[in-house]
Amino acid sequence: MDRYPLIIGGQSVETEETITVRFPYTGEIYAQVCAAGPAELDNAVSAACQGFESTRRLSSGKRAAILQRLADRINERAGELADVLVMEGGKTRKFATAEVARAEVTVRTSAEEAKRIYGEVIPLDWSDDTGGRTGYLQRFPLGPVLGIVPFNFPLNLACHKLAPAIAAGNSIILKPASATPVSAIILGEMALEAGVPAEAVSIVPCGGEMAEQLARDPRVAYLSFTGSCTVGWHLRSIAGRKKVGLELGGNAAVVVHEDANLGYAATRIAAGGFINAGQVCISVQRVLVHRPVYEEALQMILSAIKALRVGDPRDPATDVGPMIDSKKAEEAYQKVQEAVRQGARVLTGGTRKDGMFAPTVLTDTTPAMRVNCEEVFAPVISVVPYDDFDEAIRNVNTGEFGLQAGIFTQNICRVLRAFEEMGVGGVIVNDIPTFRVDQMPYGGEKGSGTGREGPRYAIEEMSALRLMVINRAGGKE
């Protein structure tokens, strides 16, 4: 069993208090990680303030070079990192390997975007009394960035916070999830090896209540949080005047109209509903099928789901592994049982053993059931028919979430209408709402958050737009 120290201002720091990391499939102890207390968190912010004096002076070329070296190290240690993701998070081998590859892309994209932080020139001589004046816009680094990372993508989402922060010229404090802190610590080590100024990097695993100290600290310039709605909006309420970006939950819907490619849609829905045991903010949760093709599509979806292999995430053939812990699995199980008591039917699955939750399909659900109106965050989907497209759009828009939605159709007018009327951050056409590539803007509307991730867009969030006005009439030639 390995033991990992904190990283505070580039230095390894041991603490008496530790966090026990368990392999979700068996419950065995995988690692011990030092836990930050109030003093360590205060030191991390102090170091970040000092580190910012170095990072903000780095040229765009140097920032890009540092991030390219970090991406190289992720590539070199890809096998090791995939092993860590399997053991700390219960992620299947194939999905862990994909996350490492995505993390490399995220960092390389951030390196490229570090060289594309453009400004703007604005003519201000629109009237006689403003003649000779020109405005110049430029983005400047904000300061220390606090990134709070969830358990479901502990490496790639850490990269989505660290890499744009460095690209923008900021320092970074990462607070990983207590269940999955090892990958973030290794990322911090690699960032230092790649040349990020030492004081500009801190990795501080700690409990959620401890993280509030960081969120309240006025020295932190930007808070980037990915996680639950309850925690995210609470942190925003205590964050003071700092900028805040929130990537929160969802109950993602996908609409399958009668003109869809049903076979392709069924295969994609099976992937999108059960990848990472359904523990994805944009996991398919609600499937709305046009009634004329409902029975045919339902059978195709069930067939695709029953073909998924469930079991040990260490097995390269496994498609669906365990949930992060038995408590989360029990919470999802209770939501399914509640739906059944309210009239829903289980078509497959609906059972659990410890952290293993069988891929589950429900039907005869209503929008008010918690399996629809709340984020289940488990391998559970609901498949229901609709009669007309207006009804489908109303169903998509029901509730407090608005992260992403998918629509399968061949009709461009229907596509454009969905784009205009679905209250979500992203509409994915002829694919599932679970689709995300790391260079696209990603974020939600309504209760699903504020701001956007994706390196280019995160850099904008993590920088300040500053205006300079030059009055030529006041100068001398």
Count of residues in the chain: 477
Are 200 and 57 in the same domain? yes
Are 350 and 203 in the same domain? no
Whether 112 is covered by a domain: the verdict is yes
Whether 42 is covered by a domain: the verdict is yes
Q: Whole domain around residue 421: which residue ranges?
A: 253-429
When divided into structural domains, the chain yields a total of: 2
The β-bridge relationship of strands 253-256 and 201-203 is unpaired
For the CA atoms of 223, 228, 230, 232, the dihedral, rounded to the nearest 10 degrees, stands at 10
Whether 439 is covered by a domain: the verdict is no
* Residue type at position 246: L
Q: Is 247 a catalytic residue?
A: yes
Q: Is 281 a catalytic residue?
A: yes
Whether 441 is covered by a domain: the verdict is no
Whether 421 is covered by a domain: the verdict is yes
Are 189 and 272 in the same domain? no
Spot the catalytic one: 99, 247, 375, 461: 247
> Token pair for residue 13?
């720091």
Whether 262 is covered by a domain: the verdict is yes
Strand, helix or coil at 224? Answer: strand
Pick from 298, 296, 288: which is nearest to 365 by CA? Answer: 288
Are 221 and 96 in the same domain? yes
Phi-psi region of 111 (alpha: psi -120 to 50; beta: other; left: phi over 0): alpha
Whether 268 is covered by a domain: the verdict is yes
> Token pair for residue 363?
């039907």
Spot the catalytic one: 34, 159, 206, 281: 281
Q: What angle do CA 290, 293, 299 make, to 5 degrees?
A: 115
Alpha carbons 212 and 12: distance in angstroms, whole number: 23
> In this predicted model, what pLDDT tens digit does every residue of 395-441 receive, in sequence order?
999 999 999 999 999 999 999 999 999 999 999 999 999 999 999 99
Are 226 and 339 in the same domain? no
Looking at residue 305, which CATH number applies to its domain?
A: 3.40.309.10
Are 218 and 294 in the same domain? no
Q: What is the residue whose two structure tokens read 């399909």? A: 361
Cβ contact 254:426 at 8 Å = no
Are 224 and 345 in the same domain? no
**What does the pLDDT read at residue 346?**
98
Are 234 and 261 in the same domain? no
Alpha carbons 254 and 407: distance in angstroms, whole number: 5
C-alpha distances in Å from residue 5, one per residue of 47, 55, 169, 190, 467: 17, 24, 26, 14, 43
Are 26 and 96 in the same domain? yes
Alpha carbons 312 and 135: distance in angstroms, whole number: 60
Cβ contact 284:277 at 8 Å = no
Cβ contact 183:205 at 8 Å = no
Are 197 and 316 in the same domain? no
Q: Which residues contact 340 (CB under 8 A, 6 or more apart)?
A: 346, 350
Whether 473 is covered by a domain: the verdict is no
**What does the pLDDT read at residue 474?**
75
Are 296 and 407 in the same domain? yes
Looking at residue 27, which CATH number applies to its domain?
A: 3.40.605.10
Alpha carbons 220 and 146: distance in angstroms, whole number: 7
Positions in the chain whose pLDDT score sits under 70 = 476-477
Are 80 and 200 in the same domain? yes
